[in-house]
Chain A
Amino acid sequence: MTKRPNELTIEEAAKALRAREITVRELWDACSEAAHAKNPELHAFLEIFDADDRAIEAAQIRIDTDKDLAPLLCGIPLALKDNILIEGKIASAASKMLENYRATYDATVVKKLKDAGTLFLGRTNMDEFAMGSSTEHSAFGETLNPHDPTRVPGGSSGGSAAAVAANMCIAALGSDTGGSIRQPAALTGLAGLKPTYGAVSRSGLIAMGSSLDQIGPLAKTVADARILYETIRGRDTLDSTTIPDGLYPAHEASAHLRIGVPWHLLREGVDADVLAAFDMTLKKLERAGHSLVDVELPTSSHALAAYYVIMPAEVSTNLARLDGMRYGHAARGETLLDDYRNSRTEGFGEETRRRVLLGAFVLSSGYIDAYYRKADAARAVLRGEYDEAFKKADVIAFPTTPSPAFKFGEKSDPVSMYLEDIFTVTANLTGMPAVSVPMGMVEREGTKLPIGIHFTAPHQAEEVLFAAGSAVEHTRNS
């Protein structure tokens, strides 16, 4: 074996465990040592957990006993974003507000992973309450991009992305409200999936935008992302927005995909070398037997504006529960109102306060029609345009981001940071699944930085996304 155990993919590690080339303990130790060694520099983890000896032993016995029948994730050390609840562990959402909050139950995805015998290596850094595209809004300091430590790893799931990209764990879970899995995946050279809204339970995910949030995988390969997705997905009585299989019309993953490209949205705003890499990837896909079709998505140019109305509205509602009473940061004053106000003022960081206020604004009686209802209507139109485009395309392709990882402090005004999400928010607004897959490197100041290609598919057509992602991986390897 030429790779170190912590550098393996889920598929490779599962194979090595079954072939007795490594033990679960050796795999855990390799990841734990790498995490401890690299975390002081990268700050990907907010906490690295101690070894759970019983879980490690149980996973080893299960693999030895069940062999190929054991789940592929059995004995695999994963990292979890700090907004996913593990009973008894801190879940802070990278906020001072929840710095000492200890989860009283397992998120449904955690239950499913525990059932599969997965091991949890630690909780990863993120933008506070998942609001941001760089981890610069974490209350506990930013995470650095393993490809260039002067640059951001993306966000908000930047800690999970950096942990996987730096081989501090085998794979990780993040959450995606407007691109928070796919953008960091692109900026760190990983595969990242935002599942169909309702495909994965949100029970035990600290809510940001409830009509937009989904938990999903950040992984070294598309096949690994698929393994994680298959493990965590499914209907859940604890989340009534989860959906049954077959709710939407079935879509087969054809060997010859029709790839829709909305060229009209790419004429400006994308770095020339990113656009060139996108074009080259599409040409390679065409040579591999897939076809390209031009699609029109006229309302897409307004998607980000609609998102930045709907999301803060939901944020202000969801975060209203955090008042310093039953749990979380508690600052006290003269009156009960002071208690609420002091707790929230001290507990929330700047970006969180900004979005809570913005949400209160767009929902206020004088503006709700001009902003919120208009954005909600735009969302419905957008969904219709995508449905129409999917009549002639199996997937729709974009570059995941207009540019590679940016430098810390480079996007200091809110709007320039929000523009990072310009190609990713649409999938959250429409509820459709989307994936980012590495499509090469571009150079900035002598350093090669990864970039991603983004595919959106119709609702519940994740298999089509995996086919498109695998096709890109094949073109890269060919």
Chain B
Amino acid sequence: MPESVHRDCQNVQHQVLHRSRPRAEARGFCYSALMATTDEVQKLAELSRIKIEGAELEKFTNEFDAILAYVGQLEKLDLPQGDALREKPALRNVLREDGEPHEAGKYTQMLVEQFHAKEGNALSVKQIISHD
């Protein structure tokens, strides 16, 4: 491995969570050479509740490689560590007090009309727990 690439790999790897190291190293990956496999893309699709099969799976996997190669340039970026990245932003997400609820039932009819299946005003879905 050329010295520069080896250094890049080390730079990235020292920031990776311990639990991720065995996974990456077991595959013999250094992150700058990371490539997606059809199995991985299939797994991501399952996690995302999306079906991807056949030629499309192959296409998505190839495109993933190109995209990961592009975003992988972040690995070469040297960033300051510690406090420099912990500056408190001026914009903060704040919660408001509960109160001033809208009139009960104001939106019910409009929302229920969008249900694919319903019983009265209740959304009807398939049984989740089987007693078989």
Residue of B nearest to A380 (CB): B85
B35 within 8 A of A: no
Cα separation A353 to B45 with both chains bound (whole Å): 9
Q: Do B79 and A381 touch across chains, with their CB atoms under 8 A apart?
A: yes
Q: Do A197 and B91 touch across chains, with their CB atoms under 8 A apart?
A: yes
B93 within 8 A of A: yes
Q: Do A308 and B87 touch across chains, with their CB atoms under 8 A apart?
A: no
For A367, the chain B residues whose CB sits under 8 A away are: 20
Q: Do A377 and B64 touch across chains, with their CB atoms under 8 A apart?
A: no
Given contacts A104-B107, A353-B50, contact A414 B63 (CB under 8 A): yes
Q: Which residues 241-286 of A have a CB within 8 angstroms of B?
A: 241, 243, 247-248
B131 within 8 A of A: no
B104 within 8 A of A: no
A365 within 8 A of B: yes
For B94, the chain A residues whose CB sits under 8 A away are: 240
Given contacts A197-B91, A375-B74, contact A353 B52 (CB under 8 A): yes
Q: Do B15 and A369 touch across chains, with their CB atoms under 8 A apart?
A: yes
Q: Which residues 94-111 of B have a CB within 8 angstroms of A?
A: 94-96, 107, 110-111
Q: How far is the CB of B80 from chain A (nearest CB, A)?
A: 7
Q: Do A370 and B50 touch across chains, with their CB atoms under 8 A apart?
A: no
Interface hit among A162-170, A182-190, A323-331: A323-331
Q: How far is the CB of A317 from chain B (nearest CB, A)?
A: 11
A292 within 8 A of B: no
Contact of A316 among B48, B75, B85, B107 (CB under 8 A): B48
Q: How many residues of B contact A (CB 8 A)?
A: 56
Q: How far is the CB of B50 from chain A (nearest CB, A)?
A: 5
Q: Do B41 and A365 touch across chains, with their CB atoms under 8 A apart?
A: no
Given contacts A356-B50, A369-B15, A370-B16, contact A414 B125 (CB under 8 A): no
Most chain-A CB neighbours within 10 Å: which of B40, B51, B67, B95?
B67
Interface residues of A (CB under 8 A from B): 101-102, 104-105, 197-198, 237, 240-241, 243, 247-248, 299, 302, 304-306, 308-309, 316, 320, 323-328, 330, 335-337, 339-342, 344-345, 348, 353-354, 356-358, 360-362, 364-371, 373-375, 377-378, 380-381, 384, 413-415, 418, 431, 459
* Extra A-B contacts (17), CB below 8 Å, given A336-B128, A356-B50: A304-B70, A305-B73, A308-B71, A337-B49, A345-B52, A348-B50, A354-B60, A357-B45, A357-B60, A358-B67, A366-B19, A366-B23, A370-B75, A378-B79, A413-B63, A415-B70, A418-B67
List 29 A-B residue pairs with CB atoms under 8 Å apart, sorted by A's residue number.
A197-B91, A247-B90, A305-B72, A306-B71, A306-B74, A308-B67, A309-B74, A328-B114, A330-B116, A336-B125, A341-B49, A341-B50, A345-B52, A353-B52, A356-B50, A360-B47, A361-B44, A366-B24, A369-B20, A370-B16, A370-B20, A371-B71, A375-B71, A378-B79, A380-B84, A380-B87, A381-B79, A418-B70, A431-B91
